[in-house]
Structure 1
Amino acid sequence: MLEKSTLKRSVIAQLPMLVGQRVRLCGFAEAIRDQKRMRFIVLRDHTGKVQLTQSKDDLSLTAVLDALTPESAVAITGLVTSAPGVKLGGLEVSLETADICGLADARSPIDEESSLDKWIDHRQVSLRYPRQQLVFSIQTTLEEAMRSFWTENGFRELHSPKLMGTFSESGSEVFAVKYFGTTAFLAQSPQFYKQMAIAGGMERVFEIGPAFRAEPSFTSRHETEFTSIDMEVAWIDDHYDLMDLEERWLAHSVSAVAKAHGTTIKELFDVEISPPKLPFPKITFEQARETLGTLGHDLQKSHDLDAEGERLLSEWMAAKTGHEFLFITDYPAKGRAFYHMRRDDEPHLTKGFDLLWRGMEITTGAQREHRYDRLVAQASERGYKLNALSDYLEFFRYGCPPHGGMGVGLARVLMRLLKTDSIREVTLLSRTPKRLRP
C-alpha cells in the first residue's frame, strides 16, 4: 500500500523538477510492455505521460502488476531518474510500490477510431483521449477569459430559473413538464430574466447556463439541451453597440485560448488559433440575400439564412477580406422574436443580428423593444395571448432603459474554434431527440 502519510501526490508535469526524488503518482495505465526481466508501463494523468519501469526481481511488486490491464486506474511510488533515450520527456520512474485502484476490463469497448455514437455510449473511456482532454481544458480557459472580460467591463452574473410558467421565446419548441397539478416549461433561454434585471437597474448582466429546445433537428450542430452564454446591456444606442461589445469579448477570449493552448491545438487538431482582427465585417440581411443570389444560392425562406447560405457567405467574406467572422444585420421582423426592436425608418426590419464564424451561426442578438405599448402591439401582432405574457410585460410598465443583448452557443464556439465536424465532439454528454443516455 502507498505511504499516504509521508508522500503527497505529484503530477506528471512536475517530474522534470523532481529528478532524483521519490514521488507518488496516480493515473491510468495507458500501455503495458513486458520483457523477461523488466516491465514498462506508460502512466497518464491529466497533465501528461511518463514511462514507469519495474524490475521483475521484485517478486511482490511483480505479483501485483501481473494483474494490471490497460486503462486501469493505478497509484504508484517510485524514483524519478533522467533517461535521455526515453521519448516521454527524457525521464522515467523506477517503481517501488503499486496499487491497482480500479482494474479495467481486459478489452476496451472503444478505441480512438470508433464512431462518435460509440464514443458517447462509453463516455467515461472516450473522455480520456488527449483530444477530448484538451477540449475541456480549452472550455475552462474560454469561460475564464469571458468572465474576466465581463468583470473588467462592469457586468454582474445571473442564475435564472429553468422552470418557467410561460414560454421564453416564440412559444414553440418548448419542453412541457408536470408541475404540481399544472404545466411548467423548460427555459429556452434566460431572455425574460435578463431583461427583468435590466428593468431592475442592473445595467450589465451575463449568464452561462443550460437551455432547452424541443426542436426535432438531427444536424451536427443542434442539441436539445445546450449551454447558452447570454449578455444583456442597458443604455445602448442601437444594435451596433452590441456587435462592438461582442467582437471585443470574443477577441479577448480567443486570445486567451491561443496563448494557453495554441501549440497543443495545432498538434492535436491541426488548427491555427490566432486572435481575430477588429472590427468584424458586417452586411445587412438584404445584402446577404443578394450576394447569395450572385453565388447561385436562393434562400428557401425570405426572412432567414440556411446552413448552406451561412457557409457560402462566410467563404465569400473570407476570400474577400481574410476574415473568419461575419455579422449579418437588420433581419426581417417576420423571422425574429416579437421583442426585437423594429427600425423606425423600415418597420419590417429589426435592429438584430447574427454572427457567423467559419460558416456557422454562433450568436443571435438584437436591441430589445423596451417601450411597453410597442411591445404589447408587437406581441398582439403575432397572435400571442397577452395574459400568458403578463409577467414579462409587467417588467416594462414602470420604466425600462433602452437595452439589448445576445445569446451565444458555447459548444458552437468550441466547434468552430477547433473545426470539428459535430457539436457532439465538444459536448460532455449529447442530448438529441433520440439520445437521453448515458
Structure 2
Amino acid sequence: MIKFLKQLSVESVVDVIGVVALPKDPLIGTTQQVEIQVRKVFCVNRVKLPKLPLNVEDASRSKADIQAGKPGAYQDTRLKYRVIDLRTQPNQAIFRIQGQVQIGFVEIHTPKLIAGSSEGGSAVFKLNYKGKDACLAQSPQLHKQMAICGDFRRIFEIGPVFRAEEIDNWLSLMYDPLYCNSFDVFIRGEEIISGAQRIHDPELLEKRAKEHEINVNTLSTYIDLFRYGASPHGRFGAGLERVVMLFCALDNIRKPSLFPRDPQRLAP
C-alpha cells in the first residue's frame, strides 16, 4: 500500500478506509485532532501532471515565512491557478469569515437587466431585449429600495454589478442642496461603507432625476412605488471583500475575492 501511495502525484483524490482513533501525541498542521489507522486506499482521481504549477504548501506561507527564506508563491501565480490556491488553509479561513459577516441579513437577488439606467454617468451597457431597449444594471440600488418598501430590512446582495457615477438621490437636509443626510464608515483608516437617507418623495425624486438628465419614463415603476406609501429609509453599500480584507488585515483586495478581476485578469 505504501508503494502504491508513493507513486500518486500530490493533490490526487483518494478514498481512505480505516479506524479513527485519538492520537497519542498532539498533531501539528491538522484541522482535527484524530488519526486514521489506514486499512485500504483507493485512488478516485489521479493528478495527471508530473508536477503541479503551484504547490499548496508554498501558497500557504505568509510573507514573514517567505522573508525568512522559506519557498513561497507569487500573487500572479496564485491567481492564475486560483483553484489550487483556494485549497490553502488561510484562503479557506478567509471565505468562512466572509460567510459569517453576512449572518443576520437576508440575501436577495435583483434583476440584472432593467429598462433604463439605475445611476447617472455614461458607463451603461445597452442591449436589445426582445425588441425593447434595455441595459445591464449598474447597481441593485433601485430594487433594494423596492424590497425595503416591501418591509424587508437588513438585506444584502452578492453578485456582479456594473458601477458608474452614482446619481444624487440622497435626501438633502431640509431640502438644502448644500447638505445631505449621508455618512461614511471606516475600518483601519479605510472607507468600507458609504450611505445616506434616500428620497422617498416621488415628486422630489422625479425632479432630481430630471436634473441629472435621466429618462423618468424608464424609472416609472420605481418612482411609483413611493406613491403606495413608503417610510423614510436609508441604504449603504458595503464591499464585502473590502470589509474582510481590512478586518483580517490582508494586504490585497484580491485575496478575499474568490475569482478576482482586474484590468489584466479575465480568467480563471
Q: 1:108 aligns with which of 15, 37, 52?
A: 52
Q: For 1:28-67, list aligned pairs within 5 A.
A: 61-67=1-7
Residue equivalent to 2:144: 194
C-alpha deviations, 1:193-248, integer Å up to 9, x for none?
12223444x16351322141256xxxxxxxxxxxxxxxxxxxxxxxxxxxxxxxxx
Residue 95 (structure 2) pairs with residue 136 (structure 1): yes
Q: For 1:102-251, list aligned pairs within 5 A.
A: 102-104=45-47, 105-111=49-55, 112=59, 113-144=72-103, 146-147=104-105, 158-200=108-150, 202=151, 204=153, 206-213=155-162
Residue equivalent to 1:82: 23
The sequence identity of aligned pairs, in percent, is 34
Q: 2:188 aligns with which of 353, 358, 366?
A: 358
Residue equivalent to 2:39: 96
When the two chains are superposed, the root-mean-square deviation of aligned CA atoms in Å is 2.6
Deviation at 1:384, TM superposition (A): 2.2
Residue 32 (structure 2) pairs with residue 73 (structure 1): no
Distance of 1:157 and 1:137 partners within structure 2: 17
Residue equivalent to 1:271: none
CA contact (8 A) 2:121 2:166 kept: no
* Structure 1 residues not aligned, in runs of 5+: 1-60, 148-155, 216-334
For 1:94, the aligned partner's letter is: Q
For 1:134, the aligned partner's letter is: A
Residue equivalent to 1:337: 167
Deviation at 1:87, TM superposition (A): 4.1
Distance of 2:253 and 2:74 partners within structure 1: 14
Give TM-score scaled by structure 2 length.
0.81
C-alpha deviations, 1:339-366, integer Å up to 9, x for none?
1100127422211112121122211211
* Structure 2 residues not aligned, in runs of 5+: 60-71
Q: Which structure's residues are more often strand, by fraction? A: 1
Q: Secondary structure of 1:395's match?
A: helix
Q: 1:431 aligns with which of 254, 261, 267?
A: 261
Q: Secondary structure of 1:396's match?
A: helix
Give TM-score scaled by structure 1 length.
0.51
